[in-house]
């Protein structure tokens, strides 16, 4: 399936009380140029959202706090990735259906995207997504 699970750069600190730093650089650590960043916060455990695919967007998903399951479907199979550490970065190629489940209150989902916001590049209907995948495969 067209995703990559990255181990993001973590800065080693001598004193754990100083907290952590994790970072990534556009086009170096991730395979696209970042045009947009957004994040979903003040969420409750059990929240379920997403239910869409992108025709153009490459995205990096990461969860700096909490635990969020990302369920992916490429039109043929389903896979699930758990973002439960600030060092995990999930690169999603275009054309993947995604659903997200919040496993802890106040988990934060951050997204770095390759494109500016454009509602027309979303597919929000699963049957339409399957048609889109089948047309692309022909």
- Contact set with ligand TYD (CB under 6 A): 36, 38, 49, 117
Q: Tell me which residue of 67, 72, 111 sits closest to 89, measured CA to CA.
A: 111
CB of 114 to ligand TYD, least distance (A): 12
The reply to whether 54 belongs to the active site is no
Identity of the residue, 35 or 136, whose beta carbon is nearer to ligand TYD in the bound complex: 35
**Total residues found in the chain within this entry:** 138
Q: What's the sign of the alpha-carbon dihedral 107, 125, 111, 135? A: positive
Supply the minimum distance, in Å, between the C-beta of residue 11 and ligand TYD.
Answer: 28
Tell me the CA distances in angstroms from 97 to 65, 85, 94, 123, one per residue in order. Answer: 24, 23, 9, 8
d(CA 58, CA 55): 9
Q: What are phi and psi of 3, to 5 degrees?
A: -145, 160
Shortest Å, Cβ 36 to ligand TYD:
5
23/116 with CB nearer ligand TYD: 116
Half-sphere exposure of 41 (CA within 13 A, CB side): 5
**In terms of CB distance, is 41 or 117 closer to ligand TYD?**
117
The residue whose Cβ lies closest to ligand TYD is 117
Q: Which is nearer to ligand TYD, 49 or 55 (CB)?
A: 49
> Rounded to the nearest whole angstrom, what is the least distance from the CB of residue 117 to ligand TYD in the complex?
4
Active site (catalytic) residues: 52
């Amino acid at each position: 399936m067209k995703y990559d699970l990255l181990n993001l750069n973590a800065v080693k600190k001598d004193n754990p009380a100083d907290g952590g730093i994790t970072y990534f650089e556009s086009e170096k650590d991730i395979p696209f140029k970042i045009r947009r960043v957004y994040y979903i916060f003040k969420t409750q455990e059990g929240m379920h959202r997403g239910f869409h695919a992108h025709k153009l967007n490459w995205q990096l998903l990461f969860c700096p706090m909490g635990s969020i399951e990302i369920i992916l479907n490429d039109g043929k199979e389903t896979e699930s990735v758990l973002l439960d550490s600030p060092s995990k970065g999930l690169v999603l190629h275009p054309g993947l259906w995604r659903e997200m489940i919040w496993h802890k209150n106040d988990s934060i989902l951050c997204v770095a995207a390759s494109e500016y916001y454009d509602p027309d590049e979303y597919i929000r209907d699963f049957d339409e997504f399957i048609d889109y995948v089948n047309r692309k495969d022909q």
